[in-house]
Copies of this chain bind each other. A is one copy, B any other.
């Protein structure tokens, strides 16, 4: 399940990102830390050419606007033509009509390889539910042992219907392609205390999938494991040194950049269903 790691290190993928301006620097550094090469470009007149030299496309609607929505559609369509993995992060969908309509149009127009969000975002995406939590998960949606089976069934349905891998992030990350499902129990609560963890996760998925075009499910699972493990290492160091959230952010990217395959194999907490 973790084999994707070696492939990436041998063949660093160029990842094209159309993402928000809040966490874009963290996304770029995280892709570098993962072993890829980031490229940010969002003007509709050039995105198709940029897709043409890339190995994967990451679309994140965190601070979308009229200008960038057009670019997302053009870039996604081109990536589909070229057979590149396309990853969608529907940040804050449910919080506004603009986001709902943009995500709906994207899903109708572009074939995504992976869609990743918190469970409130995934629900809002397919049910037009209101999402009053903004970019955070809503309390009533949190995945627990009590509602885990029901949540998995729901997510498998979404994956089958959209014909892509769905990732619902949280204390337990759920990854499913509609048939196989992996529960990833790596990670640390401190990851929710900084901005950008979700965006970085999405870009790590794009990096792994860019280097493993034929193994999207395995690449996605590996990405969630390696992000979660980086969070665990970073939290350990932050707590040991008595530091705060900005140090944690630094150590999170540090940990990714120093991750070894043996750490990954020993630390991975994956349950396949």
Residues of A within 8 A of B (CB): 14, 20-26, 28-29, 32-33, 37-43, 45-46, 49-50, 53-54, 62-67, 92, 95-99, 132, 134-136, 193-196, 242-247, 249-258
What copy number does this chain have within its complex? 3
Q: Say whether A45 contacts B66, CB under 8 Å.
A: yes
Q: Say whether B97 contacts A49, CB under 8 Å.
A: yes
Distance to closest chain B CB from A39 (angstroms) = 4
Q: Say whether A41 contacts B96, CB under 8 Å.
A: yes
Selected A-B contacts with CB under 8 Å, 10 pairs:
A14-B134, A21-B24, A23-B25, A28-B196, A29-B245, A32-B195, A38-B195, A43-B65, A46-B97, A53-B132
Give chain B residues whose Cβ lies under 8 Å from the Cβ of A196: 25, 28
With A25-B195, A246-B253 in contact, is A40–B62 under 8 Å at CB?
yes
Q: Say whether A42 contacts B25, CB under 8 Å.
A: no
Q: Say whether B243 contacts A247, CB under 8 Å.
A: no
Known contacts A14-B134, A43-B66; 6 additional CB pairs below 8 A are A20-B40, A22-B40, A29-B245, A242-B258, A243-B258, A246-B249
With A and B bound together, what is the CA distance between A53 and B95 in angstroms?
Answer: 8
Q: Say whether A22 contacts B28, CB under 8 Å.
A: yes
With A and B bound together, what is the CA distance between A26 and B29 in angstroms?
Answer: 12
Contact of A245 among B33, B46, B50 (CB under 8 A): B33
Give chain B residues whose Cβ lies under 8 Å from the Cβ of A32: 193-195, 245
Q: Say whether B195 contacts A28, CB under 8 Å.
A: yes
Contact of A254 among B49, B92, B244, B254 (CB under 8 A): B244
With A and B bound together, what is the CA distance between A243 and B94 in angstroms?
Answer: 39
Distance to closest chain B CB from A33 (angstroms) = 6
With A24-B21, A46-B99 in contact, is A247–B250 under 8 Å at CB?
yes
Smallest Cβ-Cβ distance to A47: which chain B residue: B96
With A and B bound together, what is the CA distance between A105 and B96 in angstroms?
Answer: 26
Contact of A246 among B37, B50, B99, B257 (CB under 8 A): B257
Between A24, A33, A37, A66, the greatest number of chain B beta carbons within 10 A of the residue's beta carbon is seen for: A24
